[in-house]
Structure formats: C-alpha cells, structure tokens
Amino acid sequence: MALKKVSKKKVAQPRKTAGTSSSIKVALLGFGTVGSAVARVLSARKFSGIELTHIFNRNAERKRTSPAARSVPDSVLWTESIEEILRSDVDIVIELMGGLNPVEGWLRKALTSGKSVVTANKQLIAYRGAKLARIAAQHNVQLVYGAAVAGGVPVIPGMLQGLCGDQITRLSGIVNGTCNFILSRMESGAAYATVLADAQHAGYAEADPSADVDGYDARAKLCILSRIALHAELDPDTVPTQSISTVEAIDFAYAKELSCTIRQVSQAELDGRTVHARVGPMLVPLSSPIAWSHGTQNMVVATGRFGGDTVFSGHGAGGDPTAVAVVSDLLAVAQRCATVQLPVRKRKVTSDFLAPHYLRFVVDDKPGIVSAISGALAKVGANIDSILQRPGHPKHRLPFVVTTEPCLTSTIEQALRSIARMDCILEPPLCLQMLTVDDKADDVEAVKEE
C-alpha cells in the first residue's frame, strides 16, 4: 500500500529533516510483546513510504538476537541510547515500553524535537495525556494512542470520530483482557493462579499483573475513555477499584444460580458536574452481551443521548491485535489525518452507584446469623432480594449469599462494616455490584426517583 502525499493544511505534520529520503522514518521504543508484533506487522504489510529505522530497548543485543527479531530489516539500528533516537531524523516515535518514568520525559523530548508519538501506554495517557497533548499541539506534531484502550478494538478512533456528534452520557464494559481471560476461564472451572500465570505467559498481563487484577489498568483506560467520550477529565486516583483476586469458584456457582456470571466491569456515567465511576468485578446477567465476552475479548458500550447504545468488541490484549491498533495509528499520523477536538472539563468522581448487590459471607454457622445480617441490612434501609445457601459445605466454614434490591454502594458498605465485626464472620464479606439488564433498569430508575 502506498502512502499518498496529502495537503498539509492545519494538521500537525511529522517534521522532515532536510536531506533525508521521502520515507517517513519510525523508531520503536520497546521490543517486547507489542513492539515485536508491530515489527512483524510492518514487515508483513510492507507499507511503502514507512521505514522502521531504529529500535530502542535496554540490553538491545538480547532483543536483536531473539527469534522475535527475525522480521526486523537488517537496516534497522538497534540502540540502548534514547539520546540517539531523540537526536535522529526519525519522524514518528512508537512507544511500547509502558509506565510513567522515564517514558514521560523521553516522550516530552520527542514531541518538543518535532517527532510525533504513537503509544499504547494507558497509564501515561490517563495521568499525563492532557499535558502531552498540549505539548504536541504547541510543536505542531501528533500524539496518538488508539491502542491504549481495548487493544485491537478501535474504540478510541470510534469515539473520537464516529460518535463525537452524539452526547455520550454513559460508558460501561470490559477493558482489561487479562481479567476477562481469568474470569471467563474460572467460569469454566479453572483455578485463579493457574489462569493468571497463563495470561502472563501469553503476554496479555502488564509487567506487574496487579495492575490488571486490582483494576488499575482498567481504571486508566476508563479515564481515557471518559476524557474522549464524556469530555470529562478525571483524576485516575479518585476512581475506586476493586480487585478480582477475592472472587472464588463458589461465587461462580452462586452467580450461575442467579443466571449470572462474573466479569470485571468498568463504568462511568455523567451526572451533572460529577461522574459516577468505578472498576471492579460484577455479577453480569447471562443475557447481557457483556457476559458473552470470553478470553481476551473486550467490550465497551457507549450510551448516547441521540444514538442510544453503540457496542465495540474484539480482542483487547495480545501482541498482534494491539499491533494492529498501533500500526493503524502510525498510518494515520503518516497520512496526517486530523482528529476532532472538543472541549474537556475537569470533573469530580463519585463512587456511589445505585445497584443490586451480591454479598457472600463465610461464617461459623450458628442460629441467628441470618437474622443478624438481615437486621444490619435493614438498619441502613437495604432490602434483601434473595438468600442462597448451597449444600455440602462444613458448618464451621459456611459460605452463603445474600442479594439485595437496588441500593447505594455506600449504604451497603455501611452495613458491611458492622457485619464484618460480628463474631461469626470468618473473613471479610465479598460485595459485588450486580449489573442490571434493561428490563430491570426501570426498577433502578424508580428507586432513583424516590
């Protein structure tokens, strides 16, 4: 495919250095799962007018001689010196190392020296994206990060361009492939630790996998989506996260009895000047499309005032799908495609959601426990919807479940603080929000109005 020369009107340009060939020169920072997949895609697709000239990685010789480097042209310069990249006549830097430091400083220098940047780094874009975008604009270059949310699913370009005419009020879905891989395998009976190890081996997990399982990766992605879809700038540290690591096999059994499964769900909803936002494992009805995402699939539902629900779905992690998003961004920058810019406002986060809740207790069974727990819930005004107790568990360590009718998370947490202090409670209760499907949404709306 040849890259056409297009008009340079008002669009940030990759800066060309006098005396270089007409090709757009590209440097890859980071030759790991995604970096090596990008090199592979570039080699397979052979886009004319794009030339991979540099690869930067610590201990570059180890990377250069690895099997993953087979697709890298001999002409590429492998380096451990970031200065060599920054001083070079490279037009576009693709950053695939991850983390805030030292990457932020290096990318600032790249942008100020006139190089456009493509990155898949969600932490960087969630925390520093607004500042880096300003630097890019000041230097008439581009900062593009389509792979930073949902890997290979074009949710960022879809929101930036395809849905910018709507007024998006709500985002919900699955934006972490590792958690979806783990939870959907646990649903089929696999053990948490085994599947986490598989996800790491397959290159889906972050360098520190607690970023995945504890929700920080999804939180960063949710903040990026909030910025571009809700036009709300959130401080990622204020968005509450709940780990999936406390979900156990028994929870999938109880979820099934409730015609649900469990998925890590990220949600953000505009409410005047605040945004309700959170990331955590939720009970999801089997009838919801979110329950149908298996393995590394991601699914984002954007609800618009005019267009209603739009669903984005596909592979959210893994080298090849992510590389597709990175290479698509690279082509967009190389062809000088402009993106729509709309004003973004800082918004405060509230963690409260009105939803039914699933509460799993592990107790040393004795008479009066159910009445004590229901009393604590009644005291805060939470109404019980069902009580489930599966047979076959020892009385001295009995897991049982209470589900509630829709109520605020803060209300449930208040009750759980007093329940956790009861002598019979053997471990901290597990509290999961339950996603409501459309027919139940009316009930939630009714409670909201009360």
Ligand X SMILES: N[C@@H](CC=O)C(=O)O
Ligand Y SMILES: NC(=O)C1=CN([C@@H]2O[C@H](COP(=O)(O)OP(=O)(O)OC[C@H]3O[C@@H](n4cnc5c(N)ncnc54)[C@H](OP(=O)(O)O)[C@@H]3O)[C@@H](O)[C@H]2O)C=CC1
Assess contact for 264 and 176: CB atoms under 8 A: yes
The contacts of residue 320 (CB under 8 Å, 6+ apart) are 37, 40, 41, 152
Write the interaction track for ligand X spanning residues 139-158; mark x where CB under 6 A is met and - where it is not: ------------x-------
The span of 51-59, 167-175, 406-414, 442-450 binding ligand Y (CB under 6 A) equals 51-59
Distance separating alpha carbons of residues 103 and 113, to the nearest angstrom: 15
Binding ligand Y (rule: CB under 6 A), the pick from 59, 201, 272, 421 is 59
The token pair at 378 is 């009644």
Is 16 labeled as ligand-binding?
A: no
Nearest partner of 106 among 128, 83, 126, judged by Cα: 83
Q: Tell me if 100 contacts ligand Y by CB under 6 A.
A: no
Q: How far is the CB of 324 from ligand X (least distance, A)?
A: 13
DSSP string covering 403-415, please? EE-SEEHHHHHHH
Taking the least distance from each CB to ligand Y, the nearer of 241 and 404 is: 241
Taking the least distance from each CB to ligand Y, the nearer of 206 and 329 is: 206
Q: Tell me if 95 contacts ligand X by CB under 6 A.
A: no
Known active-site residue 63: no
Is 427 labeled as ligand-binding?
A: no
Assess contact for 25 and 53: CB atoms under 8 A: yes
Q: Tell me if 91 contacts ligand X by CB under 6 A.
A: no
- Angle, helices 122-138 vs 103-112, to 10°: value is 20
The contacts of residue 251 (CB under 8 Å, 6+ apart) are 262, 358, 360, 430, 432
Task: Choose from ligand X, ligand Y, none: what does 212 bind? Cβ within 5-8 Å by kind.
Answer: ligand X
Q: Tell me if 35 contacts ligand X by CB under 6 A.
A: no
Is 32 labeled as ligand-binding?
A: yes
Binders in 262-321 for ligand Y, by CB under 6 A = 317-318
The token pair at 197 is 């190890």
Distance separating alpha carbons of residues 53 and 39, to the nearest angstrom: 11
Distance separating alpha carbons of residues 309 and 361, to the nearest angstrom: 36
User: Which SS3 state, helix, strand or coil, does residue 70 take?
Assistant: helix
Size of the site for ligand Y (CB under 6 A): 25
Binding ligand X (rule: CB under 6 A), the pick from 116, 178, 184, 261 is 178
Task: Choose from ligand X, ligand Y, none: what does 178 bind? Cβ within 5-8 Å by kind.
Answer: ligand X
Binding ligand X (rule: CB under 6 A), the pick from 244, 317, 355, 401 is 317
Task: Choose from ligand X, ligand Y, none: what does 96 bind? Cβ within 5-8 Å by kind.
Answer: ligand Y
Binding ligand X (rule: CB under 6 A), the pick from 28, 182, 205, 277 is 205
The span of 203-211, 233-241, 371-379, 401-409 binding ligand Y (CB under 6 A) equals 203-211
Q: Residues 64, 70, 75, 79: what is their CA dihedral angle, to the nearest 10 degrees?
A: -20
Is 79 labeled as ligand-binding?
A: no
Taking the least distance from each CB to ligand Y, the nearer of 61 and 423 is: 61
The span of 12-20, 27-35, 381-389, 397-405 binding ligand Y (CB under 6 A) equals 27-35
Binding ligand X (rule: CB under 6 A), the pick from 95, 104, 206, 214 is 206
Distance separating alpha carbons of residues 372 and 35, to the nearest angstrom: 56
* Tokens 């920072």 found at: 29
Strand 274-285 versus strand 430-434 pairing type: parallel
* Tokens 């779905």 found at: 313
Q: Tell me if 399 contacts ligand X by CB under 6 A.
A: no
Size of the site for ligand X (CB under 6 A): 11
Task: Choose from ligand X, ligand Y, none: what does 106 bind? Cβ within 5-8 Å by kind.
Answer: none
DSSP string covering 178-227, please? HHHHHHHHHHTT--HHHHHHHHHHTT-S-SSTHHHHTSHHHHHHHHHHII
State the binding site for NADP(+): 29-36
State the binding site for L-homoserine: 206
Catalytic residue numbers read: 221
Name the residues that contact ligand Y, by CB under 6 A.
Answer: 30-35, 57-59, 96-98, 102, 120-122, 147, 151, 203-204, 206-207, 317-318, 322
Name the residues that contact ligand X, by CB under 6 A.
Answer: 151, 176-178, 204-206, 212, 217, 316-317
